Structure 1
Amino acid sequence: METLSGVERMRIVGGDLALDYVNTRSGPPDGPPDDDVLHGYEDVVAWASYVGMLTGSEAARLGRQASTEPDEAQAVFRRALRVRDDLDALFRAAPAGGRPSARHLGRLRDDTAEAVAHARLVPAEGGYRWRWTEPRDLGRPLWPVVHAATELLTAGPLDRIKACAGCRFLFVDESKNRSRRWCSMDDCGTAAKIRRYVARRAASQRHALITKRV
C-alpha cells in the first residue's frame, strides 16, 4: 500500500509525539520542506498507527469510516495540516530563542480543549493517564498530538528542543551535556561525517598536487 510505505519510511527521532508529527515534513535545515508523507486523511491514520497512537483495528475502522464520509475526512485532513503548521511554528521558535505567537497558542488551546473533551482519566502505573474515547470520531488521530504539544509547552523541556543541523527535523536533546546536533547519528550525523571526510580528502589531494608541482 503506497500510503503505508510513505509513512513507514519516516524516522521517528523527535523524542516527543508532537515533534514527530511536525517531522512528517522533511527537507533542508533552512528553507521550506521538500517532502511530505501526509497527502490525505488515510496518511494521517497510517501515521497514527505507525507511531502507536492507534491499534490496527482502530485504524481500519477509521479508514472504513472515512471512505463513507469523504467530505468529513477531507475537512479533518485540512485541520490536521493546520495543526501541523501551528505546532511547527510553536516549536521552531524554541531553538531560535523566540516566543510563539498568541494566535498559535490560542488555536492550540482550543484544539486541546476539544481533545480533552473526548478523553477520560484512567488508572495507570503510579497514577493516571488519559484514554481517548469515541474511536469512531475521525478527529481521533489528532487528539493525542495536540495534548502532547500542550504538555511539552507547559511541562517542557522547552530548553532542550533543537533543530537538526542537517535537516529541518526538531528533536528533544536528552544528552547529558546538551551537545546533540543531529536528529539521528545514523542519518544526518553520518552524512555530515562523510561530507567532512570527503572535504578533508579533497584538501589533502590538492595539497599533495601543489607540493608535487613545487
Structure 2
Amino acid sequence: METVASVTRMRLVGGSLALDFVNTRSGPPVGPPDDDVLTGYPELVAWGVYAGALAEPEAAALRRMSRDDPGAAHSVLARSLRIRDCLDEVFRPLTAGRSPSTSALARLRDDEAEALGHARLTPGSPFTWTWRNDTGLARPLWPVVHAAVLLLTTGTLDRIKGCGGCRFVFNDESKNRSRRWCSMDDCGTDQKMRRYVVARRRRTTG
C-alpha cells in the first residue's frame, strides 16, 4: 500500500501538471494499471505539494480541514479519482493520434468552469490565473484541471505521447520529437538492457 512518503518517490516526467496527475496511476503500457499513489486524501495533498500545485502552508491548512471533516475529505478523494479517469480518457487517445470522446471533453469543460470559479486573475506580464486559499478541500484539483485545458488549447497535441515501457503519458518537448520513454533512467534503460540481452543471445547462438 502506498503512503505519503511514497508519493515523493514517483517521477514527475509528464511535462504538464495534468499529465503528472494521470501518471499517479502506473503499470504496463497495455492493460490495467497495477499501482496507485492516490490512496487517501493525505496522499492527494502530498502529491499537490510535490508537483507544485500547492504551497506547504496551503497543504497544512488542508490537512487540518481533512481531520476535522474526514467524510468530506473522502468525497474529494473520490472526485479526484474521477477527474483523473476523465483526464486519462482525454489524453490517452491523443497518444495514439485519436480524438478524445465528446463525453470526456464535456466533463473536463464542466470541471474547468468550476475551477475558474475558484480562481483570480493576477496582474503581471502576462496576467496569470491564481487559486484562492478559501476554496475548501478540493483546492488541489483546480490547477490540475486548468493545466489540462491549457495543454489542450495551447499545446502541440502530437507531442503528447505514451511511454514505450509503461503506461505513463508525457509531453514530448525534445527538438526532434523523438522521445519514446517516460524517463531514460527507468523505462529507457530497461528497454536498452532488454535489446542488449537479446542481441547477445543471438550472437551466442548464431
Q: TM-score, normalised by structure 1?
A: 0.93
- Give 1:49's aligned residue: 49
Q: Deviations over 1:118-142 (max 9, x none)?
A: 1101123x21111100345101000
CA distance in structure 2 between the partners assigned to 1:136 and 1:154 by the alignment: 25
Q: Deviations over 1:43-67 (max 9, x none)?
A: 1101001111111111111011001
Write out the 4+ residue segments of structure 1 that deviate beyond 2 Å after TM superposition.
none
CA-CA distance at 1:71 after TM superposition: 1.0
Q: Which amino acid is 2:198 matched to?
A: A
Please say if 1:118 is aligned against 2:118.
yes
CA distance in structure 1 between the partners assigned to 2:203 and 2:158 by the alignment: 40
Give the aligned length. 205
CA-CA distance at 1:70 after TM superposition: 0.9
- The answer to which of 40-49 and 51-60 deviates more is 51-60
RMSD: 1.1
CA distance in structure 1 between the partners assigned to 2:38 and 2:82 by the alignment: 12
Conserved in 1, the CA contact under 8 Å of 2:58 and 2:133? no
Equivalent runs, 1:131-210 vs 2, <5 Å:
131-135=130-134, 137-207=136-206
CA-CA distance at 1:3 after TM superposition: 2.7
Q: Deviations over 1:25-83 (max 9, x none)?
A: 11110001111101011111010011111111111110110011111111111100000
Conserved in 2, the CA contact under 8 Å of 1:37 and 1:43? yes
Q: TM-score, normalised by structure 2?
A: 0.96
Structure 2 regions of 5+ residues with no counterpart? none
How many percent of aligned residue pairs carry the same amino acid?
Answer: 60
1:140 is paired with a residue whose SS is coil
Specify the structure having the higher radius of gyration (Cα).
1
